[in-house]
Structure formats: C-alpha cells, structure tokens
Structure 1
C-alpha cells in the first residue's frame, strides 16, 4: 500500500463531524435531549479548527520542501 501525506485538518474535521453524529444518535436513542441548534457550534467550530490546522500543516510542509530550516529558538539575534 502506498503511503500518503498525513492531513491533520481532515482528521480534525472528521472527529468533529463524528461527534456531531454521536450527539444526534444519543438524542434519537433517547439517552439525552439535544436542541436542534446545539450542533451548529460543533460543526462550525470543528471546520474552523480543521482549516487552521490544515493551513499550519501546509505551511510547515511547504517550508520543509523548500529546505528552509526552522528558526532556532535558542539562538538570540545579536
């Protein structure tokens, strides 16, 4: 099997959408009562976090491909 790039943004989006499904399933099963609008923050927050995570990962991946070393935090500018 071919290896593929790890995309953490898709992982975050999938986790939040699965959480939304669990919330609705618990409501449908009678375990708890969920108002219809409660999942809006879950979905929008999850998609926002996924976008931020994906952008950061893309920036790190692009910097790594160019061969630009990451800044050394122990080196003080002088």
Structure 2
C-alpha cells in the first residue's frame, strides 16, 4: 500500500461534513428536530477550521523542508 502524507485540513472538513450528515439523518429518523439553517454554521465553521488546519500543516511542512535543506547544505563535502 502506498503511503501518503496526512492532510489534517481534509480530515477536519470531512469530519464536519459527516457530522452534518449525522445531524440530518437524526432529523430524518425522528430522533430530534433540526432547523434547516443549522447546516450553515456546521459547514462554514468546519470549512474555516479545515482551512486553518491546512494552513498550519502547510507551514509546518515548509519549515521542516527548509530545515532539512539547510542541514543538507551545511554538511561538508566528502574529499
């Protein structure tokens, strides 16, 4: 199986979209009443949190890549 890097922004977005689906499924099943506008803060809040998580993860990866590059550049060349 091929490995890929973890993308927390996509994880958070998927989590909130799944939560929205669960809320509407509970409403459709008659477990509780959900107003139609409840989806707006769930989805927009989830997407905003996903953007922040993605930005932070991107910054961390960029910083880590720069550190690795400077460490590679600072090693002396073999004779």
Q: TM-score, normalized by length of structure 2? A: 0.83
Could you report, residue by residue, the CA deviation over 1:5-61 in whole angstroms, capped at 9, with x for unpaired residues?
100010000000000000000000000000000110000000000000000000000
Instruction: Please tell me whether residue 60 in structure 1 is matched to residue 63 in structure 2.
Output: no
DSSP 3-state at the match of 1:3: coil
Structure 2 runs not aligned, ≥5 long: 69-79
Aligned partners of 2:27 and 2:49: how far apart in 1?
25
Aligned partners of 1:67 and 1:3: how far apart in 2?
23
Give the CA RMSD over aligned residues: 0.9
Match of 1:16 in 2: 16
Match of 2:45 in 1: 45
Match of 2:2 in 1: 2
Moved over 2 A (4+): none
Count of aligned pairs between the two proteins: 68
- Greater radius of gyration (CA): 2
